[in-house]
């Protein structure tokens, strides 16, 4: 039963990937400029190279054939070269992706730790002043434009109070080898004398961007958890459990939470896509060396192969995360297993 479901999900995943690669493939033709340079990323193509490349790419053959070559190149890791650096786009992406992942995952963690308890609190004390306060704060946070919020916090904490740094991941004083790409992990893995100081510094750099990025998901989490919890608390089985003689706290934790948090887990996966959007803007403001800033720079430079590669990579990431959360959701939800 589970196997059947997993197989169906994998089939869907493959279908979605195919659609995505078709989209990326078509971008080569849609972007302005020479098709050949879009495909390969080479700036200056000599005439001999041109004929050879035309053969490899299959530009004289049908679109379908070109598409198959394209997919094969993608799976081989032979992505186009970036216009600006003439390096393989894939290697550049792999360099910058962990930074974004680190920021996004800390922000997501923060939003879950803060948002879910606050949402539950607001639902339990529905229509009292605590609920109104939490809901009002959530509404305000939901309406803040992320870049303005980041600027305000920078003005307050970095410029006025001087507590936190304004940009980057780590102060230039510290040299940490790039092992995984995740700064905190790398610091813990390296055995340098200044490990403690570097760790503290990295956290100070991480704090402001993470807080800014976590604002929106936290508010969404608060609102969603509150709505879900309120709906669950009105159900019949909660009343039965109360009538059975369980205390309010017991009913809340054993029956209420399990039922209310199920839709929330699915929502977390859906939030990831919005999180990436916000992460891109946050990275630009804080000069965080992640894939968001890389993509935005590529668009300023009209670096089409980089844009294409970046879109492919980010979409793949979002799709995989969505699928994982959906599988997790079905694992934990007895009702969904009916199918």
Partner 1 sequence: MKKIRLYYEEHNKGPMKLLWQHFAPQHFAFFGLIALLVLVSLALITPVLTPHDPYLQNSQLLLLAPSWQESGLVSYPLGTDDLGRDLMSRLMLGTSYTFGLAILAVLGSLLIGLILGCLSGMSKGVKSSIFNHLLDLALTIPSLLLAIVIVAVLGPGLINTIWAIMLALLPQFVHGIRNAIMQQLKLDYVTAYRLDGANNRQLLFSVILPNIWEQLVLMGTMALSTAVLDIAALGFLGIGAQSPTPEWGSMIADSLDAIYLAPWTVALPGLLIFTTVLAINLVGDGLRVAMKKRREN
Partner 2 sequence: MQLLDIRNLTLELETPDGLVRAVDRVSLTLKEGEIRGLVGESGSGKSLIAKAIMGVLHQRWKISADRFNWCGQDLLRLPYQQQRQIISRDIAMIYQEPSRSMDPTATVGEQLAESIPDHLLEGSWWQRGYYRKKRALALLHKVGIRDHTVLSSYPYQLSEGLCQKIMIAMAIAKSPKLLIADEPTTALESTTQAQLFRLLASFNQLKGTSILLISHELETVARNTDTLSVLYCGQLVEAGDTATLLKHPLHPYTHALIQSVPEFQPELGFKQQLYALHGSIPTLQHLPIGCRLGPRCPNARKECVKTPVIERQQNHFYSCHFPMTGKSSHE
Rounded distance, CA 272 to CA 112, Å? 12
56 binds partner 1 (CB under 8 A): no
214 binds partner 1 (CB under 8 A): no
Per the document, the length of the chain is: 339
**CB closer to partner 1 out of 109 and 274:** 274
311 binds partner 1 (CB under 8 A): yes
Smallest distance from partner 1 to CB 289, Å: 17
Stretch that binds partner 1, among 10-18, 163-171, 205-213, 247-255 (CB under 8 A): 10-18
What is the full DSSP assignment across 76-131? HT-PPBPTTT-SBHHHHHHHHHHHHHHHHHHHHHHHHHHHHHHHHHHHHTTTSHHH
Q: What is the dihedral of CA 151, 152, 154, 155, to 10 degrees?
A: 110
Inter-residue contact 222 to 134 (CB < 8 Å): yes
Inter-residue contact 119 to 226 (CB < 8 Å): yes
Of the candidates 229, 224, 262, 220, the residue with the CA atom closest to the CA atom of residue 110: 220
Helices in 31-88 by DSSP H: which ranges? 35-40, 47-57, 63-76
299 binds partner 1 (CB under 8 A): yes
Smallest distance from partner 2 to CB 243, Å: 5
Inter-residue contact 100 to 51 (CB < 8 Å): no
Residue count, binding to partner 1 (CB under 8 A): 42
**CB closer to partner 1 out of 104 and 198:** 104
Smallest distance from partner 1 to CB 321, Å: 9
143 binds partner 1 (CB under 8 A): yes
156 binds partner 1 (CB under 8 A): no
**CB closer to partner 2 out of 169 and 255:** 255
- Indicate which single residue of 205, 222, 304, 305 sits in contact with partner 1 (rule: CB under 8 A): 304
Which of the listed partners (partner 1, partner 2, none) does 242 bind, with a CB threshold of 5 to 8 Å by partner kind? partner 2
Which of the listed partners (partner 2, partner 1, none) does 185 bind, with a CB threshold of 5 to 8 Å by partner kind? none
Which of the listed partners (partner 2, partner 1, none) does 35 bind, with a CB threshold of 5 to 8 Å by partner kind? none
**CB closer to partner 1 out of 260 and 307:** 307
Query: Distance of CA 4 to CAs 1, 11, 66, 84, 337, Å?
Result: 5, 11, 34, 47, 11
> On the CB side of 336, how many CA atoms lie within 13 Å of its CA?
14
Name the residues that contact partner 1, by CB under 8 A: 12, 15-16, 19-20, 27, 30-32, 139-140, 142-148, 151-152, 155, 159, 273-274, 276-277, 280-281, 284, 295-296, 299-300, 302, 304, 307, 311, 314-315, 318-319, 322
């Amino acid at each position: 039963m589970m196997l059947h479901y997993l197989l169906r999900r994998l089939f869907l995943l493959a279908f979605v990937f195919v659609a995505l690669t078709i989209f990326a493939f078509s971008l080569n033709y849609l972007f302005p400029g020479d098709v050949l340079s879009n495909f390969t990323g080479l700036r200056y193509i000599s005439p001999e190279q041109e004929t050879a490349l035309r053969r490899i790419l299959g530009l004289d053959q049908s679109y379908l054939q070109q598409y198959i070559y394209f997919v094969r190149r993608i799976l081989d890791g032979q992505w186009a070269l970036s216009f600006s650096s003439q390096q393989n786009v894939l290697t550049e992406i792999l360099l910058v992706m962990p930074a974004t992942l680190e920021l996004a995952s800390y922000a997501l963690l923060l939003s879950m730790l803060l948002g879910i308890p606050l949402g539950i609190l607001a639902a339990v004390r529905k229509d009292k002043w605590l609920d109104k306060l939490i809901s009002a704060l959530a509404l305000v946070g939901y309406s803040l434009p992320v870049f303005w919020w980041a600027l305000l916090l920078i003005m307050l904490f970095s410029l006025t109070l001087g507590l936190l740094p304004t940009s980057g991941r780590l102060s230039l004083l510290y040299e940490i080898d790039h092992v995984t790409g995740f700064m905190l992990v790398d610091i813990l893995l390296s055995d340098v004398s200044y490990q403690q100081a570097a760790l503290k510094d990295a956290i100070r750099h991480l704090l402001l961007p993470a807080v800014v990025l976590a604002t929106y998901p936290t508010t969404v989490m608060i609102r969603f958890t509150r709505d879900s919890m309120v709906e669950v608390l009105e159900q019949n089985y909660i009343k039965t459990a109360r009538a059975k003689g369980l205390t309010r706290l017991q009913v809340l934790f054993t029956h209420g939470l399990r039922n209310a948090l199920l839709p929330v887990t699915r929502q977390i996966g859906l939030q990831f896509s919005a999180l990436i959007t916000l992460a891109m803007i946050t990275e630009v403001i804080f000069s965080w060396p992640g894939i968001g800033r890389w993509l935005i720079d590529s668009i300023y430079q009209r670096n089409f192969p980089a844009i294409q590669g970046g879109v492919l990579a980010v979409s793949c990431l979002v799709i995989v995360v969505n699928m994982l959360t959906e599988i997790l959701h079905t694992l934990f939800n007895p009702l969904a297993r009916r199918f």
